[in-house]
A = this chain, B = another copy of it.
Amino acid sequence: MHHAFKDRHTPLYTQAAMLLRHRITSGVWKKGEQLPVIEALMAEFGVARTTIRQALSLLEDEGLIQRARGRGTFVTGAREKPSWLTLDTSWATFLRTLEGNWSKLINVHDEIGYLDLEPGLGKPAAAYRVISRIHGSGDNAYADVCLRLDQRCYELAPKRFEAEFIIPVMESLDQITISSARQVLTIGVADFEVAERLEIAVNAPVGRLRRVLCDEEGTAIYIGDITYRGDLVRLEMNMNR
């Protein structure tokens, strides 16, 4: 039994597949190269033929390998990943990356007395308009969005705020001044609701971004909670020295 297979709550064949996958994706075995024969893997991992074959079957289903009776098992390469959707986090380019994307409204309601805002990010407004949406690009939903827009801002252009991307609209309105913009990213997994909305697996890795825009008085006029699909989205950051 290979020392790495220590998780008693995951099947051996799943763990073996993980280790084999890692060796392929990390470059230990190159494309076109033959994997060790089943007998060798059995010996190395200390598991039965069944276990190795099940692991290899998983990898073949993913397109990482191809098995050939009489010849061996060969690395075919990682399945081609769809190209990343890159979202920039600098203000100027961020607005530009929204162009060409679509947005679908899920739900809108009012909220009074929202207090769940971390000190240092801003102070809550008296009332918010809560807008739930999905953002997408092409065929894919890439983000689940729940945002709070200060009711006073919302009332300046309600129809636009429900039909367009929020921040460009805010930018276009003279009565709204965005004085600071901060974001905090955490990394977690998709719960049931997000999984369904973004059409990903429960427990799939996601990025969670809280974005807070404040006016001159330090009032949070926009609080966005955005969940990005880890398999589709990458974030680009300029360090601006």
* A contact set with B: CB distance below 8 Å: 4-7, 9-11, 13-15, 17-19, 22-23, 25-26, 44, 58, 84, 86, 89-92, 94, 178, 181-189, 191-193, 195-196, 201-203, 205-207, 211, 228, 230, 233-241
Contacts and interface: CB of A to CB of B under 8 A. Distances in A.
Given A19-B189, A19-B191, A26-B186, 5 more contacts: A91-B241, A182-B238, A189-B205, A205-B206, A240-B240
Contacts of A192: 4, 18-19, 22, 44
A13 B206 CA distance: 21
Say how many copies of this protein the assembly contains.
Answer: 2
Contact of A6 (B201, B211, B235): B201
A119 to B, nearest CB: 13
A195 B15 CA distance: 13
Nearest to A194: B22
Given A192-B44, A205-B230, A237 B11 contact: no
B18 A230 contact: no
Given A11-B9, A205-B187, A230-B205, A195 B4 contact: yes
Contacts of A15: 202-203
B11 A186 contact: no
A89 B23 CA distance: 27
A100 B11 CA distance: 40
28 contacts: A4-B196, A4-B202, A5-B201, A6-B202, A7-B201, A7-B202, A18-B192, A22-B192, A22-B193, A22-B203, A26-B186, A44-B192, A91-B240, A92-B241, A178-B241, A181-B238, A182-B239, A183-B237, A183-B238, A185-B185, A185-B235, A185-B237, A187-B206, A187-B233, A188-B230, A205-B206, A205-B230, A211-B239
A140 to B, nearest CB: 15
A7 to B, nearest CB: 7
A11 B10 CA distance: 7
